[in-house]
Structure 1
Amino acid sequence: MTNREGADGAAAREARGPRPDRVVFGVAGALALLFVGWGVVDATSLASVTGTLLEGLIRAGGWGFSLAALGFVVFALWLAFSRYGRIRLGGDDERPAFRTSSWVAMMFSAGMGIGLMFYGVAEPLAFYTQPPPASVPPGDEVEALRTAMATSLFHWTLHPWAIYAVVGLAIAYSTFRKGRRQLISSAFVPLIGPGLADGWLGRLIDIVAIFATVFGSAASLGLGALQIGGGLEATGLVGSVGNAVLVPMIIVLTAAFVLSAVSGIARGIQWLSNINMVLAALLALFVFVLGPTVLILDLLQTGLSAYVSEFFEMAGRSEATGGQAMLDWLSNWTIFYWAWWISWTPFVGMFLAKISRGRTIRQFIGGVILVPSAVSLVWFAVFGGAAIYQQKTGLDPAAAGTEQQLFAVLAQYPAATVTGLLVMVLVAIFFVSGADAASIVTGTLSQRGTDEPQRWVVIFWGTMMGAVAVVMLLVGGEDALKGLESLTILVAAPFVVIMVFLCVALARDLRRDPQVTREDRGSRLVEEAVGAGTRRYGDYFTLRIAAVPGARPRHRDGNGVASRSGDGVGTTDGA
């Protein structure tokens, strides 16, 4: 081979990007194919095994999900208010990559589009008609309303976004401050060392992260298909929706987001996604203006105050406080939510990291937690308030299936068919615009952190998400939603452990940050200088800053962190 041929081959390989990690991609891909094959060949036995595993996990480890979720909230808020909050995700003098308005808009687009559409009506309505066990005296409608709003906000505000913030912050700090690869495993370097992070343990971490992303995205795809199917049935376009309709629908949605991820239409999808946010806001405004406006405004205040006052009571719900009924309720609602959010953290965390370069830790956590939480408060007040008002007046939207309740509420407003079709379009685009990014993230994790994974890798993982979503529906049988919930909880369980250790690794990294060590050293030097001056001159001395003779000028390392070969010293002079 000539030198020119060798150079051309190297250039071609570089243009194609790095090859997939054989261990990460091979093991994760084989396990995903094995799961899909099992579900297709014998969904009944898979459902039996997952049901047994889920029952054992909830009874023995359900408390772990609740405790870990609360711990992530405390950890994120502690970082924001601690001295680490001033550290930038990048160089010391680096400015944010995006304007604040654009940054906030992108955070909203990465949020919970399908979840808010699916549960915006269903959750407050469910908690109003059937409150959590041992939480509301029978017949007390006022307390039922407060509990419904408080519990909905408990599931959709601080907890999920703190979970996202922890992973996003760890990735952003590791990538932009330390210059490591864009991988979950790279953030573990301060805890396990670079050898293990690049070795078998790091690969195991990335494999678990891939699985969490695939199953979390598949659960969202399943929810989206269920709601679109419910809309087709509610608007009379389809008589009855079952797997014969849902499976082809999942195939179409999968093809759409895979095409978006690997072709030039991704920018078009992003443009549609921005329009989607505007349409969602207009839909909320439509319900607010034509619905029970005064009640909705009251719920903004009532819901927020109830959430704050009952926060720790809701966080303490367990089998000990409500017996088997409470354990079953937690499995269907709270634990499922924590597992769902945790399964989305590799995707959402990496997205948040990419758009937050140059922000301080305090800005990052404040923006990531507060802005989406405010959106969730408004959304649940509008749609939950409208649903509860209709329930109180005898229209009974709760009688509809969970996936049809939003359409049942909209049926009482003008242009019900138009708004019903709008909801279906919103759900489809929300999913496509998020799942294409999720398939790219799984490609990134299986190709050692590259920004642009190879197309065939993205296609493979996108196809796996669709196939897993189909299997989840098959496992659920007649109760398809139950199948989505069960498998999401099981797959998210290992990643909970990874996230706990990720917090430890991030804290260790921050303690060694150059800015922190400079501040500590500066404080120590000043303290020593003041002590020396006091001993020598009493209260009559001044501090003078002078460079060490022969010191060279300041320079910056690859992370943008300032340093110098010599250091200035503080000297004491008698007054």
Structure 2
Amino acid sequence: MPDSNPTAPVVERHGPLQLAGRVFYPVVTLILALVVATMIWPKSMSAVFNVLLADIVHYFGWYYIFICAGFIGFCIWVGCSRFGALRLGPDDSRPEFSRFSWYTMLFSAGIGIGVIFYGTAEPVAHYHHAPRQMASETVAAARYAIQLTWMEWGAGAFAIYIIVGLALGFATHRRGRPLAIRWGLEPLLGRWVHGWIGDLIDIVAIIGTVFGLATSLGLGVIQINTGLQYLGIAHSSLDLRITIIALISLAAGVSVLSGLSRGIKWLSNLNILLAAMLLAFVFVFGPTVFLLKALTASFGYYFQHILQTSFETDFATGSDKWQSYWTVFFWAWWIAWGPFVGTFLARISRGRTVREFALGVLCIPTLGIFLWFGTMGWAALHREMFGAGGLGDVATQQVVFDYLGGLPFPTISSILAIVLIVTFFVTSADSGAFVVAVLSTGGLTRPPVSTRAFWVLLQGLVSIALAIAGGLSALQTASLVGGLPFSIVMILMCVAVVKSMQRELTLAEQARAYAHAPGVNTGG
């Protein structure tokens, strides 16, 4: 059982060798073993993981859809409940970061490069290849395309992050526990979190984070390479991709070593400002009036159909192929990223109330997703529906550059998009390295510089190795497979955090009752 006094602080020790050693060394060994195996047998490893992912989608696709909708409901309930007034920290604690910096950091870490990659490509793909026997290349297909992107990139992703962040933030900032995944389950597991079960939870979380970041870094570099080739600056080549990975890793290292309040915070602020500039450019030089009309109509369509869409499965088609590429893929991907983003959110959210954390993280970034995907998606769809078309015939990573090429000042806007891709990736890489350093040191909120530098270097080397061997897709699929067991951890976290908050409210009520009891001297 947990300690009888749940608010008793656990003092952080710099270099908790026993705990860190039981997590750090198995993690490094397993990462190197999987990377080497993927480099030697990339096709075989990819085939194995693809079979596992296909089976997970077939047998558990309904489960992913159901629990992700449930996670959204849980976050809304917690934020609106009597728990909302509790703080992630002592009652007199206040936030370390301004709201603007807080939102930019959580958005950059939680979504990052995906908004550039999929902002135009995914709506175009749904429009040309409409799901569930819907007629493609119709107004209905365009409406549904935006609806799907809003659902897959919005509240569902951030609800997953909220649950992990809330459990860890409450354990760390309110109860003084180390910032590690295991401690979010202490109200349920009690002293078991000190043993091999806790070690296993942290090991799985670190491996999933490293592989997720490494594959995203590799895939994003492909998009940067595509943009440079589109502008005629450089031809696509393996040497160029390796150089880009090395430079991004170097920039991430400088950022993560400068700390949260400098490098990561300022890079996140820069990300949002650059994204706002690109969004404004498309809005002004694109079909402005059409975008205003389409966005207005899409909000109504979204809220009318969101409940149905959130629980939609492919039971009537007899095939899981579409959902394995899209909805279930995204749910598995967000869950796989849950340990990374949730831990990072917990670290930067000390002093926030539960209500602000649950509802703020759920609503504000989701609104940003609506604006980004609504503007970029409808702008690309306008070209497909009423203009030159052709975006459905190019590679996914090139769609955004092809669309910008049809607007005024294409070179400037394309360079802005490339810079935005780079800054988003540097932010994801440095915040990811920071989180892995926290977890591998047993939960130190300020891990040693050498540990942070090690994980930045390892992320870059893993990405380079897999780029050379062509094994990025294998480890990306492995990350998605790892999301299934972690989803069970998340369900347990929901129970654990409610149990912990109930205890806090009970203690507070007992303290107030004692203070107002007859005969109690409260005077000075």
2: CA distance, partners of 1:57 / 1:169: 27
Displacement of 1:216 after TM fit? Answer: 2.1
2: CA distance, partners of 1:371 / 1:93: 25
Q: Does 1:346 align with 2:339?
A: yes
Q: 1:182 aligns with which of 179, 182, 187?
A: 179
Displacement of 1:210 after TM fit? Answer: 0.6
2: CA distance, partners of 1:519 / 1:360: 18
Contact 2:171/2:184 (8 A) holds in 1:
yes
2: CA distance, partners of 1:55 / 1:507: 34
2: CA distance, partners of 1:31 / 1:171: 25
Contact 1:222/1:484 (8 A) holds in 2:
no
Displacement of 1:298 after TM fit? Answer: 1.8
2: CA distance, partners of 1:59 / 1:129: 25
Query: Which stretch shows the higher mean deviation, 108-117 or 157-166?
Result: 108-117
Query: Which stretch shows the higher mean deviation, 287-296 or 244-253?
Result: 244-253
Cross-structure match for 1:538? none
Cross-structure match for 2:309? 314
Q: TM-score, normalised by structure 2?
A: 0.90
**Structure 2 gaps, min length 5:** 1-11
Q: Does 1:224 align with 2:217?
A: no
Greater relative contact order (CA < 8 Å, ≥ 6 in sequence): 2
Q: 1:371 aligns with which of 364, 368, 372?
A: 364
Cross-structure match for 2:166? 169
Q: Deviations over 1:146-168 (max 9, x none)?
A: 10110010011110111111111
Displacement of 1:101 after TM fit? Answer: 4.0
Matches within 5 A, 1:462-473: 462-470=456-464
* Closer, same or farther: CA 252–96 of 1 in aligned 2, 3 Å: closer
Q: Does 1:502 align with 2:493?
A: yes
Q: Deviations over 1:106-130 (max 9, x none)?
A: 4344342201111111111111111
**How many residue pairs were aligned?**
511
Q: 2:230 aligns with which of 207, 227, 234?
A: 234
Displacement of 1:476 after TM fit? Answer: 6.2
* Closer, same or farther: CA 270–355 of 1 in aligned 2, 3 Å: closer
Cross-structure match for 2:272? 277
Matches within 5 A, 1:337-416: 337-392=330-385, 393-416=387-410
**Structure 1 gaps, min length 5:** 1-13, 526-544, 556-575
Matches within 5 A, 1:72-221: 72-134=71-133, 136-137=134-135, 141-193=138-190, 195-221=191-217
Contact 1:475/1:483 (8 A) holds in 2:
no
Displacement of 1:452 after TM fit? Answer: 2.7
Helix, strand or coil at the partner of 2:389? coil
* Closer, same or farther: CA 339–319 of 1 in aligned 2, 3 Å: same
Contact 1:208/1:494 (8 A) holds in 2:
no
Contact 1:111/1:372 (8 A) holds in 2:
no
Contact 1:219/1:488 (8 A) holds in 2:
no
Amino acid at match of 2:442: R
Cross-structure match for 1:21? 20
2: CA distance, partners of 1:333 / 1:112: 16
Q: Deviations over 1:56-104 (max 9, x none)?
A: 2222222222222112111111111222122222223433444434433
Q: Does 1:548 align with 2:518?
A: yes
Displacement of 1:285 after TM fit? Answer: 0.4
Query: Which stretch shows the higher mean deviation, 289-298 or 18-27?
Result: 18-27
Q: 1:260 aligns with which of 255, 259, 269?
A: 255
Contact 1:332/1:485 (8 A) holds in 2:
no
* Closer, same or farther: CA 502–377 of 1 in aligned 2, 3 Å: same
1: CA distance, partners of 2:463 / 2:53: 18
2: CA distance, partners of 1:16 / 1:512: 30
Matches within 5 A, 1:474-513: 483=474, 485-513=476-504
2: CA distance, partners of 1:80 / 1:340: 25
2: CA distance, partners of 1:443 / 1:339: 24
* Closer, same or farther: CA 471–304 of 1 in aligned 2, 3 Å: farther
Matches within 5 A, 1:38-49: 38-49=37-48
* Closer, same or farther: CA 247–81 of 1 in aligned 2, 3 Å: same
Contact 1:118/1:223 (8 A) holds in 2:
no
Query: Which stretch shows the higher mean deviation, 331-340 or 104-113?
Result: 104-113
2: CA distance, partners of 1:102 / 1:431: 17
Q: Does 1:443 align with 2:437?
A: yes
Matches within 5 A, 1:512-531: 512-513=503-504, 515-516=505-506, 518-519=508-509
**Identical aligned pairs, as a percentage?**
37
* Closer, same or farther: CA 391–366 of 1 in aligned 2, 3 Å: same
* Closer, same or farther: CA 94–521 of 1 in aligned 2, 3 Å: closer
Contact 2:125/2:392 (8 A) holds in 1:
yes
Contact 1:47/1:475 (8 A) holds in 2:
no
CA-atom RMSD, angstroms? 2.8
2: CA distance, partners of 1:304 / 1:247: 42
Q: Rg: which structure is higher?
A: 1
* Closer, same or farther: CA 431–138 of 1 in aligned 2, 3 Å: closer
2: CA distance, partners of 1:357 / 1:111: 18
Matches within 5 A, 1:528-543: none
Q: Does 1:58 align with 2:45?
A: no
2: CA distance, partners of 1:424 / 1:262: 24
Displacement of 1:265 after TM fit? Answer: 11
Amino acid at match of 1:365: A
Matches within 5 A, 1:289-308: 289-308=284-303
Displacement of 1:229 after TM fit? Answer: 1.6
* Closer, same or farther: CA 185–245 of 1 in aligned 2, 3 Å: same
* Closer, same or farther: CA 501–315 of 1 in aligned 2, 3 Å: same
Amino acid at match of 1:332: Y
